[in-house]
């Protein structure tokens, strides 16, 4: 990604997080439940993949992803008004499970450490 795309992606990340937190009124998107972890723009800045981490079980994730899908046009319109871009990118939300994966690895490491200390 070019430096310009990185700057635009970072601004989009901040604004999308703010929009989801403050302005989207969908009960499936409770405050603190959805975190925007990254934005990946195409080279021509016509498409944006927005990576979100959703806290909760599988049902909560599915509900939140449905809520995001319903709010996509509203979020895109708000991004178009807030950022001075020639073209407002088409937004696609993708589930980011890296936080859960990291938590799982930390729990496994803690179990290994506990086993090591118990053997001493």
Q: For the segment 14-29, what is each residue's pLDDT rounded down to a tens digit?
A: 999 999 999 998 888 8
What angle is formed at CA 104 by the lines to CA 100 and CA 59, rounded to 5 degrees?
A: 45
Q: Are 42 and 22 in contact (CB under 8 A)?
A: no
Q: Are 71 and 24 in contact (CB under 8 A)?
A: yes
Question: What pLDDT is attached to residue 117?
Answer: 56
pTM exceeds cut of 0.85: no
Reported confidence tier of residue 116, pLDDT bands at 50, 70, 90: low
What's the whole-number average pLDDT of the chain? Answer: 88
Question: What pLDDT is attached to residue 60?
Answer: 85
Please state, as a whole number, how many other Cβ atoms lie within 10 Å of the Cβ of residue 41.
19
Question: What pLDDT is attached to residue 120?
Answer: 47
Of the candidates 43, 37, 51, which has an alpha carbon nearest to the alpha carbon of residue 4? 43
Reported confidence tier of residue 104, pLDDT bands at 50, 70, 90: confident
Structure tokens that stand for 6 in this block: 């990185």
What is the CATH number assigned to the segment(s) 3-115?
Answer: 3.30.300.20
Of the candidates 25, 118, 3, 34, which has an alpha carbon nearest to the alpha carbon of residue 70? 25
Q: Are 54 and 95 in contact (CB under 8 A)?
A: yes
**Residue range 54-91, pLDDT digits in tens:** 888 888 889 999 999 999 999 999 999 999 888 999 99
């Amino acid at each position: 990604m070019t430096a310009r795309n990185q700057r635009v992606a970072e601004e989009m990340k901040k604004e999308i997080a703010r929009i989801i937190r403050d302005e989207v009124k969908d009960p499936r998107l409770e405050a603190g439940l959805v975190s925007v972890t990254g934005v990946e723009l195409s080279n021509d800045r016509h498409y944006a993949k927005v990576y979100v981490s959703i806290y909760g079980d599988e049902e909560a994730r599915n509900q939140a992803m449905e809520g995001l899908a319903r709010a996509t046009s509203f979020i895109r319109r708000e991004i178009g008004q807030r950022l001075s871009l020639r073209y407002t990118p088409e937004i696609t939300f993708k589930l980011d499970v890296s936080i859960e994966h990291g938590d799982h690895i930390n729990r496994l490491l803690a179990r290994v450490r506990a086993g090591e200390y118990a053997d001493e």
